[in-house]
Structure 1
């Protein structure tokens, strides 16, 4: 990955510019943040306030340029995720397949992960999930035991804090707490997340001006060419329909008569996905069977559903999905094994879409369209399989009743 990063823009890596985002865009924001303000008039700033400290962090590394320090911190985050997955996989009844997926799957995205800060965000999400107190089922018995020797309440609080920090860098880690076991674990984790988010927001608002300026940037987003809606619009354009592509808000987006309708459709699908996930949570908490894998599977399913219904599916989103799929594979009880395979395949195709064949994707050629059709088709298939697996594994009442037992509820 480092060698590819050094060759960014060279054949056969396509259009290049992967590294440019760090030493131009991020470094420009770094200068603004040093002056004590978030970029107030920059439409490209679309990130929650805690992204500010992440952008500033490379400046704390001595003896290195901003770009070198940024890449070094991305490698540290990568190593931290790998170590967390190895540690989780070495527990009794767990598997090292998650660590293997992360180590072998991340390079499928070529050098992109080292030039974005999504690895750092994924590290917080992975830490949050792996900190949750586990419950191990004994087949044929209505008993369970905690897998941690220290206080489960403390681990729940740590899980909530990590999720909150990740959510204030990029919103999606808030979804990882969707599948926390009912009872005290959920209450502690969610309260901790809320308290951490409130405290961090107050601190950042005191240190920097315009902490909520990112909200206006997000409201103006259109339909990115790499999204599911963008794939449909590309097909319509190839068939002779209206519309064109323009660089807006840091991405190539569609503009034209049908774009608002497609954007609204994406938002409606996202709302429906949220409603389905809430419905699953209510039913599973009442009738379902909670295992050590349930929180992991729910997190991957939720992020997949929000990804495929989004107006924007940037290639770095696959970093999130690889990290969550890797967490699922640490548990032998996961229902997401086939989903993890599809996510890895989608990551490989994403590298073709960007940066290798991105010129074709931007031009809206048949080659670019087919690449995006395959990538997005894999993500849709993964989302459907993920939902079916999660629903089947957790919402069927059985003779053994719920696996959320005293070890979880009264911890």
Structure 2
């Protein structure tokens, strides 16, 4: 164990793992059509390209374009390099101060394996940028909560989905830091929205929201799983293909019902988030540990209930979970380690299954319907695994809440009272995560 629990061993593992990833890119480079789409959004003649992405979410491509110019080959290479640099920088932050962080190596090895398992979408999609921003926000909650809240606001302007996590910033109503966190979050969003309006207009600000209205049921989503299997057992009854929403969708009998159930599930997820915020607002008990658990559960619920589940969505979970794993575990709660370990393993497996489906077997999902069932069953297994992870995550969140209450009782204070240990005023040693550290191709999926 000591041999792999060392900085040189982790970096050697990272190099080997990323060489494997580069080999996977070479075997099937069709997903680079997404990068070509980003290039066209910068230098093409169609003004609607990339307007489905939030304006701030496209800034990495703008910065890259300044460096690479109008040569698409250079842009391909540059995009791969910049995502790998973000990957390496995040790993370095996970390893920082490892002598005083006993679980740093576990988090680092998780990240090493996760990046390769996530495959092409890890380096050829924009999702790694908001995902790392969310992880940074989680890591900074303990020591720099205002900066963490601002970082979460920035992530929200990049990809929208992190906005739901803001419910986790809510503490007791009579705690000033509750309102400071929320103010930092919303002020960051308003400021960045102002930048978008000033540089690109109101229409550009609203275009990602308008885009959501034209999206149908993506064939990889969890609500579409049963229909997809039926479509392959009965070819011709359902239509599977590339839709105007720039994603692969399914249409036919039962699709409207599946979308209705997805809407109901998404609504329930939002009610859960609001309920959590109200619970914290009146009952108090805000801690960094429970907030990070809440963040993780919400990401899983967003994926599970959505009518869209592109392979890159699993990237949302990886950086955040690495920060969670790096936390010190409290004594007497070994079950927390087990549950976190289960989610980590399931995340890597789910990412690997997603890569096996896309890009390596994706044609057998949507084009050659009924000819090969193995990729369909792999996709179904991935989706079932996500649901299992949701259940594990909810159990973990419940245990974290129980732990925070037990800690408050041990201190003889009510949660969120001015001097209570788990509240806004202080964070115990075991609640300190990385806080001090993270200061001309065939149709391709371009859906954000």
**TM-score, length-scaled by structure 2:** 0.77
**Preserved contact between residue 125 and residue 176 of structure 1 (Cα < 8 Å):** no
Q: Does 1:224 align with 2:218?
A: yes
**How far apart, CA to CA, are the structure 1 residues paired with 2:347 and 2:25?**
24
Residues 131, 236 of structure 1: alpha-carbon distance in 2 compared, 3 angstrom cutoff: same
Residues 191, 233 of structure 1: alpha-carbon distance in 2 compared, 3 angstrom cutoff: same
**How far apart, CA to CA, are the structure 1 residues paired with 2:97 and 2:267?**
33
**How far apart, CA to CA, are the structure 1 residues paired with 2:262 and 2:292?**
25
Residues 99, 92 of structure 1: alpha-carbon distance in 2 compared, 3 angstrom cutoff: closer
Task: List runs of 5+ in structure 2 lacking aligned partners.
Answer: 1-17, 330-335, 427-448
Which of 246, 257, 268 is residue 241 of structure 2 equivalent to? 246
Quick check: 212-221 or 360-369, which moved more?
A: 360-369
**How far apart, CA to CA, are the structure 1 residues paired with 2:24 and 2:352?**
19
Task: Map Cα deviations across residues 52-102 of structure 1 (whole Å, 9 max, x no partner).
Answer: 322211113268822222222212221232223223765557543222211
**Preserved contact between residue 289 and residue 400 of structure 2 (Cα < 8 Å):** no
Name 2:157's counterpart in structure 1: 168
Q: Does 1:197 align with 2:206?
A: no
Query: RMSD value over aligned CA atoms?
Result: 2.7
Task: List runs of 5+ in structure 1 lacking aligned partners.
Answer: 134-147, 149-154
Q: Does 1:255 align with 2:251?
A: yes
SS at 1:332 equivalent: coil
Q: Does 1:72 align with 2:81?
A: yes
**Count of aligned pairs between the two proteins:** 380
**Preserved contact between residue 223 and residue 259 of structure 1 (Cα < 8 Å):** yes
Q: Does 1:129 align with 2:166?
A: no
**Preserved contact between residue 244 and residue 254 of structure 1 (Cα < 8 Å):** yes
Q: Does 1:343 align with 2:332?
A: no
Give 1:344 shift.
1.3
**How far apart, CA to CA, are the structure 2 residues paired with 1:276 and 1:7?**
39
Task: Map Cα deviations across residues 145-186 of structure 1 (whole Å, 9 max, x no partner).
Answer: xxx4xxxxxx22211111111111111222444334723443
**How far apart, CA to CA, are the structure 2 residues paired with 1:77 and 1:409?**
31
Aligned pairs for 1:150-161 within 5 A: 155-161=144-150
Residues 91, 164 of structure 1: alpha-carbon distance in 2 compared, 3 angstrom cutoff: farther
Task: Map Cα deviations across residues 224-272 of structure 1 (whole Å, 9 max, x no partner).
Answer: 1111122111123234383211201222101224222211211110110
Which of 413, 424, 431 is residue 409 of structure 1 equivalent to? 424
Give 1:47 shift.
1.6
Which of 355, 359, 362 is residue 359 of structure 2 equivalent to? 355
**How far apart, CA to CA, are the structure 1 residues paired with 2:274 and 2:98?**
29
**Preserved contact between residue 95 and residue 332 of structure 1 (Cα < 8 Å):** no
Residues 109, 373 of structure 1: alpha-carbon distance in 2 compared, 3 angstrom cutoff: same
**How far apart, CA to CA, are the structure 2 residues paired with 1:99 and 1:367?**
32
Give 1:130 shift.
0.9
Name 1:299's counterpart in structure 2: 295
Residues 260, 77 of structure 1: alpha-carbon distance in 2 compared, 3 angstrom cutoff: same
SS at 2:181 equivalent: helix
**Preserved contact between residue 163 and residue 174 of structure 1 (Cα < 8 Å):** yes
**How far apart, CA to CA, are the structure 2 residues paired with 1:92 and 1:4?**
28
**TM-score, length-scaled by structure 1:** 0.83
Task: Map Cα deviations across residues 312-355 of structure 1 (whole Å, 9 max, x no partner).
Answer: 11111111111121111011335533212211111111111111
**Preserved contact between residue 224 and residue 311 of structure 1 (Cα < 8 Å):** yes
Task: Map Cα deviations across residues 114-168 of structure 1 (whole Å, 9 max, x no partner).
Answer: 11111112121111111112xxxxxxxxxxxxxx4xxxxxx22211111111111
